[in-house]
Structure 1
Amino acid sequence: MSDFDVQKVMRKLRWPLLFGVSLALPALADTYYIDNPSLICKAHFKTSFNEFVTQDGDNFVLEFDEKQYQSKAGLFSKFKLGFKYNGLIEGKHAAMLLNWPDNSEKGILTILASDYPCRASYFKEQPIQMANSDETAGLNAEKKPTVQETDVTSSGNIALRGEIVSLIDTDKNSSSINDVQPVQSQKPFDAGSQSDPEKGPPVDTQSPSNQSSDVSQTTAPSISIAGISVNGPQGVVEGYVSDEVGIAELQINGRTVVVNSDGRFSAKTFVPIGGAVATITAFNAAGMSSSMAVMLERADETQTAFSFEELNPLKREVVPNEAAVAIIVGVGTYANTDADAIYADTDAQVFQDYAVEKLGVPANRIKTLVNDAADERGVLLAVIRWLTRAVEQGQSDVYVFFAGHGLASDDGEKMYLLPYDGAPELLDRTAILRDELFMDIAAANPRSVTVFLDTCYSGTTRGPEMLVASRPIAIRAKESAIPEGFTVMTAAAGDQTAKPLEEAKHGMFSYFLMKGMEGDADANQDNQITAGELHAFVKQNVEQQSSGSQTPELQGDADRVLVRFQ
C-alpha cells in the first residue's frame, strides 16, 4: 500500500467535504470526549493527532478550535444536509473528518487513511463507558484491519503498526496480532486509460450509522468518490461502489444511476449557477443503504462579455509610399492632471506599425512621441524642425496621429490638443492650438496631409473624470475650417466624448481605424481604401459600440486613397 497522502485528501475534500457544511457550533469549542475508541483509532491518535487528542486515564479527550478547522467550502453554508458542524483536521499521516448531525447528542469522528480507517463518536460531556468493552469489536467494525507486510512499507504505516502492536501487547483482553490485517483500499474509477495521480486514493464515506460491530451481520454499501467535474450546467460525479452482498441500486438525487459490474459509476446531474449539492445513495441486496453528499461548484458565467479580434497590420501587403512622413503622438498620462487618457499611449505605439504596414510610410521617416516625450516642446519641435526637414516639398504625403486629451475654449471657438505637460486650466499658455499646428504642418509644403485625432474637445475624458473641475458642463467645439490639402478624421463630434473600447484595450476610434486599414474598410473590394471608406467603416462600428453616443467625423477629401494593397 502507498503512504496516505494528506494533500490529496485535502484536494479531494475541497469539493465535497463529505456530508456537507453547515452552521458552526458555538465558537471555540473547548473539550470533547471520544466514546470508546477502537484500537486503530487510538493508534491514529498517538501517531497523527497527539496535539489534538490526549488520554486521561481511560478517557480520550479531543480539543480543537471549531472555527479554525471548520470547512470553508463556500456554498455548503446554503445546505445543512442534516449536519450543524463539519470540519477537518490534517494530521501527520492521516486526516480527521468531524461531523455533528442536527438534533444529535454526539458527533462523528472519521479517520481518513488508506490502510487503517476508523470511526468513533465524540461528546460534549463525558460519556458513560460500557462495561467489559472489547477492543476486538472495534477492530471488527473496521473490517478487521491487521498488521501484515504490504506492497510498500511507508513511514506512516510503520509508525501506526508499531503503535498497534504496542497497544495490543498492553491490553490483556485483546486478540493476538495475527487477527489484525490491513484494509485493502478500493480502486477508484479511472475515467481514462491511465490513472490520474492528482485524484489520489478514494475516500470511503460509508455512513457510520449503518455499520455493525458484528462481521456476521451485513454492512451497508461503501461509496468512494474518484472525481467531480462541472462543465457549464453539466455536472459529473465518478466513483466506485461496493458491498459484500451486492449492490441493488445506486441513485443520485433520487434518479437511478447505472453501475458497472466492477462497481464503477458515472453519475450526471444538472448544476445551476452558484452550484448544487448532489446526494448519492447506494442500496444493497439486503435492503441496507448508505448516502453521501458532494458539492458541485459552478461559477457565475458572464453572458454579456464581448470580444474583439486582435489587431494585426501584417495581413496584407501594401504599395510602399517612399516619400511619406508620419508624426505619431500618444499621451496616456499627464503631468498636470490626474485624468488619464486610457490606452492613448498604447494606441500611438501600435499605430506606428500601421503607418509602416498599411500607409506605406518608411520606418525611418516616422517620429513617435509617447507620454513624457510628447510635451509641448517635443511636439512643436517635431513639427517645426523634424517635419520641415523630412518633407519632400510637393511630393510627400504627411500623416499625423494624435491620441490624448483635447479641450475647447469656453466659447467653443478654439480647439486645443493637450501635450504631456499641458495644464487644462491654462490652455492659452500650455496647450497646442489645433489651427496653429495645422498651419505649421502646411508650411512644410507637403503634397497632402491626413490627420487622425482620437480626442475630443468637450472637457470629458475616456474615464469618469472631467479635465477641468470648475467646468463640469461639456463645451461644444465649433467646427473650424482646415487648410487646403488637409483631410481630418476625428473621433467624436464637438460635444461628445472619445471613449475607450475596454475589451480591446484601445481607444474605440483608434481600434476601428486600424482594423479598417487591415482591409475591412475596403467596401467595394478594389484593393484600396479611401478616406471616405475608412470613415464609413469607423463611424458604423463606433456608433454601434457606443450606443450612438460617439460619432466620428470627417473633413476634407473623402476620395483620397490612404491604403493601396498590392
Structure 2
Amino acid sequence: MGAYVGAPISALHTASVNKDVKQDLQNKALKLGDVKPKTFSHGFLWFKIPDEAMHDDKLPASELKISIKKDGKLVEYNLPITGDTAFAKATASPPSKTETKPADSIVPIDKPVIPPKPELASAPDFKSLPPALSYSYILHDANNNRILEGGEEITLKVEVENKGRGAAKDVQVILSGNKALVDYLGERKIIGDIKPSEKKIVEFKAILPAQIPAATAELSIEIKEGRGYSPSEVKALTVAMKPADIKKVVEVISEINIDDIPPKTRHERKEDFAVVIGISNYREKIIPSVKYAKRDAEIMAGYLENVVGIPKTNIKLLIDGASTKSDLEAYLEDWLKRRVKQNSTVFVYYAGHGAPDTEGKEAHLVPYEGHPDYPSKLYSLKRMYESLNKLPAKDVIVMLDSCFSGAEGRSVTKTGARPLVMSIENPILAGGKIMVLAAAAGSQISSDYDKVQHGLFTYYLLRGMRGEADVNKDGIVSLGELYEYTRTNVSEKASIELNRDQTPLLLPSIETAGVRLSLPVAKIK
C-alpha cells in the first residue's frame, strides 16, 4: 500500500523529489516525479513512497532528500526514514538561502496521520484549463469591388481570440478550397500560443497574376490548436475571380501603303465588268467636297484591274465632272447592258455624297451637278438597283462608300432639313442577284480617315482585297470574308480613333445571303 512523507510548503512553492532512497534500494534512483504545488493537505506537501520501496509494509531505514524551490532559491531537506516510522515531517520553514537541514531537525511522527488522497484535496490547476478559440476574417481587394481580378493585390486578414481560461498552444490558420487561390495566398500561417483574453492577427497577402482562371472560388478558413482545442466550425467564403482585361497596344512601325497597287494577277476575268465613280468636288459650291473620294475611286479601279483581274477595257472610271447624272445613267444602264454576259460578275463602286429625298422616302447618289433640294438632279438607289438587276449577269456586287442620313460626313440633306435614319435596302435586293457592301448603317456617318488619306471604309476594302481578309488562307478572298474583315476593322477604328460609331452593312443580310457569301472577289495565289 506504500507510505507517505510530508514537508511543510506553501501553495506557491514548486517541489520535486530528486534524490534516491539508499540501502535496500541499492542506490537505484527512486523517481517520484514532479509534484504540483496544489497537491497538499494540513499544511504539508505529501509524497507517496511506492510499494516496491517497502518491506513488510514498513519503510526501510533510509534518508529521503527533498528539494524545494522558492523565489528561485533552492532548499534541501534530509528526511531520515526508519523501518518503524511511517511518516516524517520537516518542521523548519525554508530558509532564505540554500542550505541543508540536519537530520535531527526532522521530527518523526509518533502517531501516523493518514491524509486524504492528495487529488481529492487539490486546488484548481489553471494550466490545465482549456482555451476557447473564436475567429473572424476580412478579405480585401485593391479596388474594393469584391471581385478578385488579375494583377490585383489581395489581403485575407484573420483575427483569432482566446475567450477561455486556459492558454491555447501552437495555433495556426489553414486555408483550403480553390487550389489556385490557395497557391497564391499560401496554405497556412502559424500564430503560436494565445493567452486567455488575447487576440492575434495574421495576414495572407498576394498579388494575383494577370491571367488568373475565371471562376467562382470557395476558400475555407480553419483554426487548428496543437492539443486539439480547435473551434468546432470551419468558415468558408465564395468570391468571383476573373482575369485582367487585356488591352491591345499596337505600335505602328510601318503599314502597307495601299496606294502601291499590287502586281497584276495571273487570274484574268475577261467576262467581268466594273463601273467606278468618285466625286470629291461638286459643281454646286454649297455642297462640301468629299476629301478623298476621287483618290478612293482611282485606287479602287487599279485594284479591280490588278488584284481582281478585270481587264482595263472592262472598267469605266468616272471622276468629278465626268460623273454627272447623265453619265451615271449612261454607264450603269446602257454601257453595262451592252457588254455583260450570263457568266459575268459586275462590280459597282461609288465614293461621294449620298442624300435622302425631300420626303425622306428614298436614298440617292448625288451626281457632280446634283443638289439635295432638287430630286430631279439626284440618282436614286432604287433606280440603280432595278437597272443592275435586269442585267444578264450572274452576280452584281455594289460597294457604297457614302451615307444617306444627311448627318454630315459623306452625306448632304435639303436646306433646313434634319438628318434622318435612311435605309438603303430595297425589296429588289432580297430576291435578286445584287449584294451591297455599304459603309455605314442608316443613321451613321461614313468617315474619312485622314491618316491614310482615304475613306475609312474604302481603306479596309482595299486591304481586305489584297489578301488580309483571306481568313481560311485558301488564296481566295470571298465576299463573306471581305465583309467580316471590313466590318470588324472599320467599327474598331472608328470607335478608338475617330470616337464615333460606324458599322458597315451587308445587304441582303448575312443570314439570308446564303451561298452568295462564297462569291470570289479576288484570287491572291
TM-score (norm 2): 0.47
TM-score (norm 1): 0.44
